[in-house]
Chain A
Amino acid sequence: MTSSTTSTTVLGKSVQRPDALDKVTGGKHYPVNVTLPGMLHAKLLRSPYPHARITGIDASAAAKLPGVKAVLLPQDVPQRKYCPVYFVPTLAPSMVQDMLIMSDTVRYAGQPVAAVAATTAAIAEQALELIEVDYEELPAVFDADAAMAEGAPQIHEGAENNIAVNPVVAFGDAEAAFEKADHIFEGVYETQRVHTCYMEPRVCVVDSDTGGNLTVHSSMQHLFGLREKLAFVLGMPESKVRVIKPAYIGGGFGGKLDIGYIEPVAALLSLKTGRPVRIEQTRYEDFISTTRNPIRVYLKTGISKDGRFVARYAESTLDCGAHATHGAEVINVHGMFGILLTYPCPDQHWEGKTVYTNNMIGGGYRGYGSPQGAFAVESQIDEICEELGFDPVEFRLKNSYHQGDPHPFNPQAKLDSYRFQDCLTQAAERIGWSSRKAAGSDQGVKKRGIGLGCQPIWVSGCVGFPDIYEHSGAIVKLNRDGTADLSTAAVDLGSGQITTLCMIAAEELGLEADQVRMTYADTDTVPFDAPSHASRVTYSSGNAVKAAAGQARQRLLEVAGGLLEASPDDLEVCEGMVRVKGSPDSQISVVDVVTRAESPFVVMTEEGPQPTNLEEKGTIIGLSSMAPPANPSPATVEFVEVEVDTETGQVKILRVVFAHDLGKLIHPAGAEGQVEGGFQQGMGYALMENLLFDPDSGACLSSDFLDYKMPTAVEMPPKIESIFIESNEPTGPFGAKSLSEPCVTVPAPAIANAIYNAVGVRVRELPITPEKILAGLGKL
């Protein structure tokens, strides 16, 4: 076990992102900008009722509207039930296949019931108004508890009590252990529905050819997932679907991790008309397409006199809305990584329920169930400490896993590079924890407080998870000008995957970062890659890129070895030169080696034609397709200082100190950007974001950003201090493991705990609005 980090030349230094200039000048390669000749525009008609049966549809007037080219109704659509989630096989047994592209049963307000393709989007929208749908309204239910109660409307056949999945996980004997606990704490913690607020809407352009082949452009997080799901729902062979990799997309954050209605509908309309069809969702449509599932957690914890976890029990109820979608998996990640595995405790019992309601469907969102768990666990730890007089930092240190312990999720692996304690102590020192005051003791109208939240255990990808894809691939090709092209199916969501992967390839090849270019890919031309999700790209795709670059490098050394008359093992590449180690005069440029490899076998010289060496011929290229070796856990700690206005309830974030052990810091500016964006999302979750619904109709009341409020630059703290602790993960590319999600998970509990420290008000229901704080202060 070593904590010394691998020495590198490219990694660890910030570079300019290759996509930066393109984006600040308009970002012409976003999928939203794709247009094709003859392209039609389609719009979806959505149900105003949350639960209804369609008894008739008359679209004849719509079809006659000038400019309308095709209409799609439920009867035109293959009735193949699917699970839209990209990262699992479509028929994965652990997921629930309960969706149809269009159905004659409506289960939430906003479910599509018809579609129109026309020459302009305005005509398509106008045509929707001409479609007459007869609905037979059915009783609806919008609350998970009510949905499980006797006599509740049945939302899906066969789902008893409207429960979609009901996992139970237990270690030891929690019931007996509670008997031995000196103190028992209980609480209910609730979280709300929020949207990732990706900037680019969900949008696609689907084209078809006379052979019935589809070409798909879409703003999504997974090429191969879209290919698989689209082929399945349309009943086509996968090879007839080609998904083009977007150069980048305008944000995803887990919100584009499942096939929408738009891709299959556009595909069917394209097959019908023979023309490319584009669908772009409005912000309202995006709001009802994907959200972080609200979860209510009942959490009970048994503590010993000396402040150790003795027993834990939790029940989590997740409202998945009308279809299970991600809810079947989010509940498990929530139970394991949000609750059970966070701190070691021998006796634990957890039960999760993913419950159907007639609310809108949920989706993926950075953190994937852990923010809802961390809010409960980390809030309750502070409640325990407050009540029993423990220091919250000491308490967590005492109850945590340690470097070298067996991995709690994959016990055959060890927590080799785990540095939770260092995160906690370094960040505590930086924020000035030792000078923290007692809760509510600050004087004045505006009171300050400090709080923390942790994510002790998380993932670097999905190795070990049932039914979840986890392999990656890459192609690295050297050019005769000494640069390299990298192609992979890993989509850059905006979080800088292009930069990171190019840097990894450059490091391995001995090139400069800007000498590697991320180039074109589609599902026909590159190996499978799992989605850009689950904090996996740097680790998993990074390993695959390193392997492909390593193969190209090996070939480069072989060819160079022939030219330098040296064994490849004795060569190294640096600064664009291949050198014999230890004899710097014996060298040849990468340009010359690659040029030689690709030159004609027989070259014309003054002495006439001369053969070269057949063995050195061929493009210098490396290819990988592989699963990553492990699933190392990072650790994350965040401290926040807040100022609470006791007369308005407003919370201002003054300071944020974030610590994360990430193995190897590959791109410092990129890593900081992740943390800053993560804080913004976590802060919105903690303080203001909330999708609101009409309690009678289930209709989403937040139709745009006038209604739905997320933090802007003005509300953000002036600075977020990131402490990256390097620890050399032996299975990672150059010692790296993951970073991206825990920074979204920790802000809510850290802010909740800081608010408590400032004003002595404990809010157990997100978002912590000014109104809840004033109510807690007894001022309403």
Chain B
Amino acid sequence: MYPAPFHYHRADSLQGAISLLSELGDSARALAGGQTLIVWMKLRFDEPQHLVDLGRIPDLSRISQEGDEVRIGALATHAEIAGSAVADLLPIVRDCGSGIADAQVRSRGTIGGALGSADPSCDWPTLLHTLDAELTCTGPEGTRTIPVSELVEDIYTTILKPAELITEIRFRRPPANSGGSYTAFKRCAPAYPTASAGVQLTLEDGDVCSDIRIALGSAGLKTVTSEEAENILRGHALTEASIDKAAEAIVAAAEPVPDQRGSEDFKRAVLRTLVKRAVDIAVRRCHGETIRGHHEYV
């Protein structure tokens, strides 16, 4: 199908984009990589009358580290992030960025768009939960910080106000004795995941887990986290039994929707496996092992 007719506007600056979006109101959408929005428009899930292209706004795709803070501009593409120095430092970031869809999608799609679409199948939001990321957002009323865990109100719906844009993603670089892993189960390369799991954990002497974050993607209408699961592992030495128990707890919190990718039971089984595998890889990375992460598919 062809998208319904629309007007195209190109913003030159962040302020310009925000003014245009507030002027045009409800019938306007911000356009980043278009890998979600254009697809929705072609399927007529969305029929905006105006698109405001953010692509030419300077400085919105910068990726940097200052001290122990990592900053990623909202317009940074999946491929740019996966190829960045941040990904060299944090294998979990490369796991995620290099596993999304195929090369075409990775070179167009942006991290800001993945967050803005509030699609629970997107990988970045899940990953960013494990890093407790914060989002810098700017709108007509100014700039504020939103924790990633508060961004999504419901599937495909964020708490962003009209004309408010995500400009930057920030998180603390995990300590040296921390390791992470992100893994997704896909039917084939250019597919959204059937299920995904991210784990970031810190090990003290004697392999006591001093901190852990676990998040599941494609596991419900929003990213799924579970304090209960994390508490099972936090403060203890990890054992097979405790990992099983934690996986069980977070999978119990998930509400995977049966669809073409599989039944609810199947998705739960896969999630359980993904959590355990992500923990395993994270632990090995804590121990200094180099493990090439990847999404699991055939």
- Residues of chain A touching chain B, judged by Cβ–Cβ distance below 8 Å, are 121-122, 125, 282, 645, 647-653, 687-688, 692, 701-703, 705-707, 709-715, 769-771, 774, 779-780
Contacts and interface: CB of A to CB of B under 8 A. Distances in A.
Contact of A715 (B43, B192, B266, B298): B298
Contact of B260 (A282, A701, A712, A780): A701
B42 to A, nearest CB: 9
A687 B266 contact: no
Residue of B185, B188, B190, B263 with most chain A CB atoms under a 10 A cut-off = B188
Nearest to B266: A771
A774 B269 contact: yes
Residue of B1, B262, B269, B270 with most chain A CB atoms under a 10 A cut-off = B269
A715 B266 CA distance: 21
Contact of B185 (A121, A125, A648, A688): A648
A692 B260 contact: yes
B153 interface: no
A779 B268 CA distance: 11
Contacts of A647: 269, 273
Given A125-B2, A770-B262, 14 more contacts: A122-B2, A122-B5, A648-B296, A651-B298, A702-B260, A703-B43, A705-B190, A706-B192, A709-B187, A710-B188, A712-B102, A714-B188, A769-B262, A779-B269
Which 6 A-B pairs rank lowest in CB-CB distance, beginning with the nearest? A714-B189, A771-B266, A647-B273, A715-B298, A709-B187, A712-B189
A766 to B, nearest CB: 15
Contact of B298 (A122, A701, A705, A711): A711
A775 to B, nearest CB: 8
A701 B259 CA distance: 11
A650 B185 contact: yes
B269 A715 contact: no
A644 to B, nearest CB: 11
Contacts of B190: 705, 712
A770 B298 CA distance: 9
B298 A687 contact: yes
Residue of B102, B260, B297, B298 with most chain A CB atoms under a 10 A cut-off = B298
B159 interface: no
Contacts of B185: 648, 650
Nearest to B39: A706
A706 B191 CA distance: 6
Contacts of B1: 125, 282
B88 interface: no
B184 to A, nearest CB: 11
Q: Is the interface of B mostly helix, strand, loop or mixed?
A: loop
A36 to B, nearest CB: 22
A715 B189 contact: yes
A650 B298 contact: yes
Say which size band chain B's interface belongs to: 20 to 34
Contact of B297 (A692, A715, A769, A780): A715
B83 to A, nearest CB: 18
B251 to A, nearest CB: 13
Contacts of B298: 650-653, 687-688, 711, 715
B265 interface: yes
Given A648-B273, A780-B269, A771 B262 contact: yes
A391 to B, nearest CB: 29
Contacts of A688: 187-188, 298
Contacts of B2: 121-122, 125
30 contacts: A121-B2, A125-B1, A282-B1, A647-B273, A648-B269, A648-B296, A649-B266, A650-B296, A650-B298, A653-B298, A687-B298, A688-B187, A688-B298, A692-B260, A701-B260, A702-B260, A705-B190, A709-B187, A709-B191, A710-B188, A711-B188, A711-B298, A712-B188, A714-B189, A715-B189, A715-B297, A769-B262, A774-B266, A780-B265, A780-B269
Given A648-B185, A688-B187, A711-B298, A770 B266 contact: yes
Interface of B: 1-2, 5, 39, 43, 102, 185, 187-192, 260, 262-263, 265-266, 269-270, 273, 296-298
B156 to A, nearest CB: 16
A774 B194 CA distance: 15
Contacts of B270: 648, 770
Nearest to A769: B262
Nearest to A703: B43
A41 to B, nearest CB: 11
A130 B191 CA distance: 35
Nearest to B277: A647
Given A282-B1, A709-B187, A714-B189, A650 B265 contact: no
Nearest to A683: B298
A153 to B, nearest CB: 27
Contacts of A709: 187-188, 191
A2 to B, nearest CB: 44
Given A125-B1, A711-B188, A714-B297, A771 B263 contact: yes
A687 to B, nearest CB: 7
A119 to B, nearest CB: 14
Nearest to A690: B260
Contacts of A710: 188
Nearest to B276: A647
A66 B212 CA distance: 62
A705 B187 CA distance: 12
Contacts of B269: 647-648, 774, 779-780
A645 B192 CA distance: 20
Contacts of A121: 2
B264 to A, nearest CB: 10
A688 B261 CA distance: 10
A121 B263 CA distance: 39
A713 B190 CA distance: 10
Contacts of B192: 706
B108 to A, nearest CB: 15
A282 B296 CA distance: 31
Nearest to B273: A647
Nearest to B270: A648
Contacts of A706: 39, 191-192
Contacts of A769: 262
Contacts of A122: 2, 5
A688 B189 CA distance: 12
A190 to B, nearest CB: 18
Nearest to A121: B2
Contacts of A282: 1
A524 B269 CA distance: 62
Residue of A652, A701, A714 with most chain B CB atoms under a 10 A cut-off = A714
Contacts of A645: 296
A702 B259 CA distance: 12
B261 to A, nearest CB: 9
Contacts of B189: 712-715
A178 B248 CA distance: 52
B96 to A, nearest CB: 17
A119 B297 CA distance: 45
Nearest to A282: B1
B126 to A, nearest CB: 18
A125 B190 CA distance: 29
